[in-house]
A and B are shown apart, each in its own frame.
Chain A
Amino acid sequence: MRYSALGVFWHGLTGNKGWKPVWRNPDPKPHYDVVIIGGGGHGLSTAYYLAERYGIRNVAVLEKGYLGSGSIGRNTTIVRANYMLEGNSQFYSHSLKLWENLEAELNYNVMHSQRGQVMLGHSDGQMDMLARRGNMMRMQGDDAVLWGREDVRKHLPYIDHENARFPVYGGLMHWRGGTARHDAVAWGYARGADMRGVDLIQNCEVTGIRVEGGVVRGVDTTRGHIGAGKVALTAAGRSSQVAAMAGLRLPIESHVLQAFVTEGLKPVIPHVVSFGMGHFYISQSDKGGLVFGGDLDMYNSYAQRGNLPMVEHVAEAGMALMPMIGKAKMLRSWGGVMDMSMDGSPIIDKTDIAGLFLNCGWCYGGFKAVPGSGDAFAHLIASGNHHPAADKFLLSRFRTGHVIDETGNGATPNLH
């Protein structure tokens, strides 16, 4: 059913009894053209674009828990296209353009809010790095403005301009950056895929990938064997394990990233703000909670929970940058498991096994990538060719040295 303001009004008058299920609960069929492992943002968007753009509708998305139970519902909801290096730059630029039309395309309000995202700089060297990044964004056709001290003071009057340990020199403002309602993105794509005939199968864990003679044949699941012409992996957080079912070994470690939200507060932080000298970034949700986060806990983990040292560091960094948030109370903390790749950039690629496709290594850039990743992955699955916006995300780059290392930290996943 189509959603509209008029619909909300009409159904409201009739007791909201006319709304229909947003997706079906189908039983798995014996065989699909494409089986997607993982019903998170990337899996659901891949399914949607396969059906919508490539006419491939005999598709199943297998999810071991509930739809959107992974990082799509655990992130800090930031959407941006502010990368410095070729490969990332064109990809996130493409993804942002898809975001900008997502609500119209999906007929679902994902509350994409282009409120502006600013990265602050705290030294001349950092300002030059921000300028390099901002220039790349402009060269890619995206927006970026380099703010000086006075600009920051004008737009962010609440940060510590007087006594900061690391004074703010300026910042890089990306006005098209912002946030979106994370769960709604999963639901919007799920609804769109379901409407186009994709089977979304929840509580269905993949236990094996069948490969015969170098060709993928299907998957074994907790709900039986499901045959497949092609199998696509979108199980970030668990990529290593799922890939291992097909004998693949990945340049990935799983790490936990914590995120935090405060109690609801009246609007006080209009933009998304990132600190340049500590691990802290923050925005305010439409419900009023300050949503903030920082760095990984640093150790490998599959536990979806973290420990106090990073909680405290993030809060300390927050107090260092904007001591006005001291009286805001942290309501909830949680952890998500990240596929941390060896250069901090993702992998969208074919594999040595015919019909088996890989989409992983999103580190903590996965949320904003959801539209672009789904589109590019669907393109690869459907055509066998790399999408031009994602043709640098090859698994082979670690062998050849064509790594895409935004932080310059090398093969140390927890530092990306």
Chain B
Amino acid sequence: MSRLAKGGQIDRSQSVPFSFDGRTLIGHAGDTLASALIANDVKLVARSFKYHRPRGILTAGSEEPNALVGIGTGDQIAPNVRATMQEVYRGLAAHSQNHLGPLAYDLLAVNDLMAPFFGAGFYYKTFMWPKAFWEKIYEPLIRRAAGIGALSGVEDRAAYDKAFAFCDVLVIGAGPAGLMAALVAAKGGADVILVDEDFRMGGRLNADMQEVGGKPGADWAADTVADLAAMDNVRLMPRTTITGAYDGGTFGALQRVSHHIARPGADLPLETFWRIVAKRAILAGGALERPIVFPDNDRPGIMLASGLRSYVNRFAATPGQAVSLFTNNDNAHQTARDLQAAGVRIAAVIDSRADAKISGDFPVLTGASVIATKGRKALRGITVQTASGIRNIETDCLAVSGGWNPSVHLTCHMNGKPVWREDIAAFVPSDGAIPGMIVAGAAGGDFSTHAALKTGAGAAKAVLKDLFGKAPRITLPKAEDAPGAMTPFWHVSGGRGRAWLDLANDVTTKDVVLAHRENFRSVEHLKRYTTLGMAPDQGKLSNLGALAIMAELTGQTIPETGTTIFRPPYTPVAIGALGAHGKHKGFAPERFIPSDALAREQGARFVEAGLWYRPSWFPAGGETHWRQSCDREVNMVRSSVGLCDVTTLGKIDIQGPDAAEFLDRVYANMFSTLKVGRVRYGLMLREDGMVMDDGTSARFSDTHFVMTTTTAAAGQVMTHLDFCAQVLWPELDVQFISVTEQWAQFAVAGPRSREVLAGLCDTAITDEAFPYMSCGEVSIGAVRGRLFRISFSGEHAYEIAVPARYGDALARTLDGAAKALGGGWYGMEALNVLRLEKGFITHAEIHGRVTADDIGMGRMVSAKKDCVGKVMSQRPGLSGPEREQLVALKPVGAVKQFGGGAHLFNEGAPQVRENDQGYVTSHCFSPTLGHPIALAFVKNGHARIGEHIRMKDYMRDIETICEICPPVHLDPEGGKLRG
């Protein structure tokens, strides 16, 4: 058992059973999965990405490249969870990843034997022959071997949430610098958010044995956190990672809300993705210890010294019983002393510096380096080269420390490039890399605890002065002020075996050498060629080492060689969290028509129309196929009366002395001449001359119009009108507002439509009072409404509108009246047939590539006035016989079906693109005509009425001859409309 007898910040009174690969183990509250595994003597936890090398736990933080596990059960296992970040809870089920057969006997480890042939970029040079083998053999083999964890392919049933937060000061990281910054900022009266990715705030103070303010660092941290928690102007967010820095002081943050809870309540999300908007930010994210690279440095049992200290000091678990250290700095010597204090034997301290000054009751080898290691599934020993020769040392844990890299990652997110600091041999954030952000503590290269406290306080004071003009006086707690000497030492040259740089992606020093040899020498080429830094840790531990090696090879300095830019997110974020609420119906708002309830009562089948749900058809007794319902509904409209909820049409109320002038400018045709009480069809163009939308506008007074748009373009038209009124012609005195939601509107169509309305309205509905294309106000009982005599079916028809709150009542009233006359509701399918029989267009036809001329409305573009799009519509390419023009098609002979999207060819011409004559936009079976009909665009179509043309639909395997005819099949003179 590797659990130490005492110490640590775990609750020994709470034993927590959990499982790893089905084996039940016991941890304590306060353990991470990693610390609990270490306490249970588990060394081998994963297999590596490419070569399936046995791997153990390397770190105690989110930068962990090895110990990625699956967490959960059944089809809800979360892949690639860092064991170092996962808290243990009762019943936690963890699974190792990326092996074929048991973890200890992974069959895919055979890849490791092939390593000489699997160097960087080897796949670019082979697998090319024979060609057909790539998709069938080579690629599937590569794909199966790659990847780490797995998705089940079944829906992620976890709940995720999103939230916004706002603050004066966002403090990122709750180590000594962050705690001090938060404390000072809060005392200065700022609204503070303090985030830390750990579940326990304190940072390195929890893991290192040192005093702050005369007490153990961990106690000072706990007391400070308690002080902050008591302040109203502070929000503490543990288990929260700032994932990215974005424009305008916006930060993304992932809060792991219930990953640590065995049975979270139903109201708790698994994770919440925050958008934190901060006036100022203080980055106190600390630094990451970097490894030294040496042969076979990836064995389970080899870890970073900082990780080792965390496990021993914070979690009271030792990864080894005879621990050795390999270091280039003083910092690691403290580790040795800590371990000894905890009762762990130190096998040796190997310091690369010949002049290292070391004290301690353990063997020390200076000017030495580790040149080999042994132990496949767990470290058994190391070989050390010293000035006096080679020594073998038995050890089951080797802690490595190559110095520290400040956490510059967030400061790169807005294109900031870190700058090199020779004294610490590391990159530090460049000034002003993120507007409004100050860096404090180790993140800025100030490594001592005293410096962290001081720069944290200083950053907070600077922010307070900036925001409020003053800052409080504070006294810093006393703390250690020895940053520790360090001499850069990146990697051990020579030796047998591969030396691993990027453990997560299995990139070795040999790969860097090969990249150099092949002239992939720029940092980005190195990264892309070797895949270094592209793995789950984004190269946090490996980038600098690789740069150093490349610098040696090219004879340049490290900063000359370059830096790699870190991209968001800081640590990986579940798509489920970023896409919270996107699942199922949450993806987009649902809009329901006023008669929705009635339609559902009547068994209507619904269809999505943009965001709206509209009845598609209303099955009546015995009807089993939509066509039966549709045909009946069409016949009903043509013979008696049909009702349709058309509330979805965009409705825009336009008022003002210049309303008519405004409409003249936005419509292609004239509206200033429209008489009060009349309605006119209008065609709207975009400035490039193409048709934007069509609809009607009704004039209720000299200064008041009501415009309707299509359902599809309602939003676009409204935005366009706002643009025209505010940006182009602010001098016009016109006001308008969308009233789509305010008015419920129903089409009442058919020869008996007037009878339905006559019993309803208190006004006489006569041809004199309401001729075709007229409008007026009517009363339906006590409700004031509007009546429009317009038609989208070709029948004598009206649209009646009432304030939306009366929509359901009016729908039910109309329903009764229509049914008494043998009428009823019709849905979108019938609506489509009715409009196609009459040759009316929708956005299937005006799809953004057609002109007024193309759809036979060229003459509507008024010659007497300017309008949006008029000049550009006259470009030479937009007229003439090469244009595809709107026509209808009818079958020649017995044709069962047309195909939407089918293309058209001259008879006898090969059916290839060069002979394309056009395409079908809409089609239906017309029960009125007894055969299929279609609308189509045909080259020079207006001049080809009566010609035969061949329709070919490769997609549905339909081919037939059609006759080109005018779009209007029914009542071309419009007698029905007026009668």
Q: Which residues of A does B touch, CB under 8 Å?
A: 3-5, 7-9, 12-13, 15-17, 19-25, 65-69, 73, 86, 89-90, 103-104, 107-115, 122-125, 127-136, 138-141, 144-146, 157-158, 160, 163-167, 172, 181, 183-184, 187-188, 202, 262-268, 277-278, 284, 286-288, 303-305, 307-308, 311-312, 314-320, 323-334, 397, 399-403, 405, 407-411
Contact = CB atoms under 8 A, between A and B. Distances in A.
B144 A109 contact: no
Contact of B124 (A108, A124, A264, A277): A108
Interface in B157-182: 158, 160, 162
A324 B912 CA distance: 41
Contact of B131 (A104, A326, A402): A104
Given A166-B587, A331-B536, A401-B877, A5 B127 contact: yes
Given A17-B517, A107-B128, A263-B79, 10 more contacts: A277-B588, A286-B142, A287-B534, A303-B414, A308-B250, A317-B582, A332-B534, A403-B877, A405-B849, A410-B688
Given A16-B514, A307-B250, A320-B583, A325 B877 contact: no
Given A139-B913, A144-B954, A131 B902 contact: yes
Given A287-B146, A328-B151, A25 B519 contact: yes
A136 B902 CA distance: 9
A96 to B, nearest CB: 15
A265 B151 contact: yes
Contact of B582 (A127, A319, A408): A319
Nearest to B900: A128
A90 B912 CA distance: 11
Contact of A319 (B247, B529, B576): B576
Given A131-B901, A166-B587, A312-B578, A325 B156 contact: yes
Given A157-B153, A166-B588, A327-B151, A69 B128 contact: no
A331 B127 CA distance: 28
Contacts of B525: 66-67
Interface in B561-620: 567-569, 572-588, 590, 607-609
Given A113-B139, A307-B246, A128 B847 contact: no
Contacts of B149: 263-266
A147 B550 CA distance: 51
Interface residues of B, number: 122
B875 A316 contact: no
Contacts of B153: 157-158, 268, 324
A398 to B, nearest CB: 9
Contacts of A109: 123-128, 134
Interface string B182-214: 000000000000000000000000000000000
Nearest to A307: B246
Contacts of B586: 165, 320
Contacts of B125: 3-4, 7-8, 108-109
Leading 3 A-B pairs by shortest Cβ distance: A408-B848, A326-B156, A288-B147
Contact of A329 (B519, B531, B572, B583): B572
Interface of B: 49, 76-80, 116-117, 119, 122-129, 131, 134-135, 139-140, 142-144, 146-156, 158, 160, 162, 244, 246-247, 250, 252, 273, 275, 413-415, 510, 514, 517-520, 522, 524-525, 528-529, 531, 534-536, 538, 567-569, 572-588, 590, 607-609, 686-690, 843-844, 847-849, 872, 875-878, 899-903, 911-913, 916, 919-922, 952-956
A144 B953 CA distance: 12
Contact of B900 (A7, A124, A286): A124
A19 B122 CA distance: 11
A382 B338 CA distance: 73
B124 A184 contact: yes
A20 B517 CA distance: 7
Contacts of A401: 689, 872, 875-878
Nearest to B573: A330
Nearest to B511: A16
Contact of B150 (A86, A110, A166, A268): A268
A66 B522 contact: yes
A122 B611 CA distance: 12
24 contacts: A3-B126, A16-B514, A19-B514, A65-B522, A103-B128, A108-B125, A111-B134, A128-B921, A134-B954, A138-B954, A139-B916, A166-B608, A184-B124, A265-B149, A266-B150, A267-B147, A278-B587, A286-B139, A307-B250, A308-B275, A312-B162, A326-B158, A405-B849, A411-B686
A115 B135 CA distance: 7
Nearest to B72: A327
Nearest to A14: B116
Contacts of B900: 124, 127-128, 131-132
Given A21-B517, A263-B149, A288-B143, A318 B524 contact: no
Contact of A265 (B79, B415, B576, B585): B79
Contacts of B690: 408, 410
Contacts of B247: 307
Of B76, B147, B590, which is in contact with the most chain A CB atoms at under 10 Å from its CB?
B147
A7 B123 CA distance: 12
Contacts of B921: 128
Which of B158, B246, B876, B955 has the most C-beta atoms of chain A within 10 angstroms of its own C-beta?
B955
B518 A324 contact: no
Contacts of A103: 128, 131, 134
Contacts of A311: 252, 578
Nearest to A85: B849
Contacts of B581: 316
A134 B903 CA distance: 10
Contacts of B143: 267, 284, 286, 288
B688 A303 contact: no
Contacts of A278: 587-588
Contacts of A333: 244, 567-569
A397 B878 CA distance: 11
A144 B955 contact: yes
Contacts of A188: 124
A134 B154 contact: no
B160 A264 contact: no
A410 B536 CA distance: 41
Nearest to A342: B688
Nearest to A132: B901
A322 to B, nearest CB: 9
A204 B423 CA distance: 32
B903 A264 contact: no
Contact of A264 (B77, B148, B920): B148
A326 B574 contact: yes
Contacts of A264: 49, 80, 146-149, 535-536
Nearest to A146: B955
A354 B913 CA distance: 34
Contact of B579 (A69, A163, A287, A319): A319
A75 to B, nearest CB: 13
Contact of B955 (A135, A158, A307, A315): A135
A5 B128 CA distance: 8
Nearest to B116: A12
B588 A165 contact: yes
Contacts of B588: 165-166, 277-278, 320
A129 B921 CA distance: 8
B905 to A, nearest CB: 9
A7 to B, nearest CB: 6
Given A166-B588, A286-B142, A331-B572, A135 B901 contact: yes
Contacts of B687: 410-411
Nearest to B848: A408
A328 B126 contact: no
Nearest to A322: B155
Nearest to A333: B568
B959 to A, nearest CB: 11
Contacts of B847: 408
Contact of A131 (B415, B536, B843, B956): B956
B908 to A, nearest CB: 16
